[in-house]
Amino acid sequence: MKKCKGSFVVLNKRGLHARPSVQLAKCASTFKAHVTLRCANASLSVDAKSSLQLLVLSATQGTEISVEAEGEDADLAVDTLVQFAKERFCKEEEG
């Protein structure tokens, strides 16, 4: 099974709060691959397709998040989620 890894830094001023968590989970849910996120230097991995689990990360602005995907579209899932984060989760916040 195909595996892929990547990472991004949370750019949003308020971190990965409710609205971006929902947007990120919706984006992750478009892929067949199993996608997990983990804060750098933490052992807790969460399902990227669950907004509630994403909130558990309590990721603040500047937090590095590791993305891991496993499945037929793993590479596309990781690339898309990393780019989505760079765009501040659909640019829901400015600055």
Name the residues annotated as catalytic.
17
HSE at residue 88, side-chain half, CA atoms within 13 A, is 11
The candidate with the shortest Cα–Cα distance to 15, out of 83, 64, 52, 49, is: 64
Alpha-carbon distance of 37 to 56, in angstroms, equals: 11
- The residues facing 38 across adjacent strands are 45, 66
